[in-house]
Amino acid sequence: MTVTALLFASYAEALGSDRVELALSGTATVREVVAQLRALPGGAALPASPLVAVNLTYAGADQRVENGDEIAIIPPVAGG
Amino acid sequence: MSVHTSIVRRPIDIGALLALVRNTANGATLVFLGHVRELNDGRAVSGIEYSAYGEMAERELAAIASECASTFGITDLAIEHRLGALALGDASIAIVVAAPHRGTAYDASRFVIEEVKRRVPIWKREGYVDGSSEWVDASGAVKRSSMPEHYS
């Protein structure tokens, strides 16, 4: 299955992209998505357990991901 | 009754927000503005570039407004957060709360700004008068970066 990872702010800068398509085999969780991203060039800038949103809702590391999901890796927020 | 939340890319119009929450059932209207400060972490700031995960930021703002309604009984509320390049003094966020009495308005306004800072996916890159820029987290701490180029 394929999921789309969205990167923002300092994370997008570190990986040189704001959008990465990832191929995952079998069942996978948020944790595997983050691990794949961290293995990419520049991915070491991502923490092991970043804030993540799956399809616009904050999600934990154990949440299952499905084909076509949009998985956003959220840097420390700074609104206001 | 009027609840309005929006992520905008234009200057915030306080007068328009005040008009939205105007309701003779209320005796107190409170405006909170967050704006770009000239000094952060001891460094002279020239401006801030705000960016967001727009679709989720809109959803989180709406959720905060909904929680504000259920927790404080607030039904007249306007929240706008601005994105893009802001200069010193420009308002980045406006929270306009109207309530029958002031206590509720103050509590609700504080709730909204704290929740925005805690969970709405918005980021800021601070520019300094020396020409450099850095990502800043919610605590105001600067994330040291080796990237001199501005990311857009």
The pair of structure tokens assigned to B17 is 């927000």
pLDDT in tens, A14-72: 999 999 999 998 899 999 999 999 999 999 999 999 999 999 999 999 999 999 999 99
CA neighbor of A49 nearest in space, from A75, A26, A68: A75
Amino acid at B28: A
pLDDT tens profile B22-71: 999 999 999 999 999 999 989 999 999 999 999 999 999 999 999 999 99
Whether ipTM > 0.90 holds is yes
Measured in degrees and rounded to the nearest 5, phi and psi for residue B64 equal: -65, -40
pLDDT value, residue B148: 35
CB atoms within 10 A of CB B82: 21
Gap between the Cα atoms of A40 and A38, Å rounded: 5
Confidence band (pLDDT; 50, 70, 90) for B143? low
pLDDT at B145: 45
pLDDT at B146 exceeding the cut of 80 = no
Contact A74 B121 (CB under 8 A): yes
Q: Rounded to two decimals, what is the model's pTM?
A: 0.92
DSSP string, B3-28: EEEEEESS---HHHHHHHH--TT-SE
Separation CA B152–CA B37 (nearest Å): 22
The alpha carbon of residue B11 is apart from the nearest alpha carbon of chain A, in Å, by: 15
Instruction: Tell me the pLDDT band of B139, cut-offs 50, 70 and 90.
Output: low
Backbone angles phi, psi at A38, to 5 degrees: -70, -20
Residue B144 near chain A (CB below 8 Å):
no
Which residue has tokens 């420009």?
B90
Mean pLDDT of all residues in B75-98: 98
pLDDT (0 to 100) of residue B1: 80
- Angle at the Cα of B150 from the Cα atoms of B95 and B6, rounded to 5 degrees: 20
- Give the residue from A54, A74, A28 showing the smallest Cα distance to B51: A74
The pLDDT score that the predictor gives to residue A26 is 84
Count of residues making up chain B: 152
Contacts of B81 in chain A (CB under 8 A): 79-80
Q: Is the pLDDT of residue B149 over 60?
A: no
> How near does any CA of chain A get to the CA of B25, in Å?
29
CA of A12, closest CA in chain B: separation in Å?
9
- CA B61, CA A10: separation in Å to the nearest integer? 22
Integer Cα distance of B122 and B22 in angstroms: 28
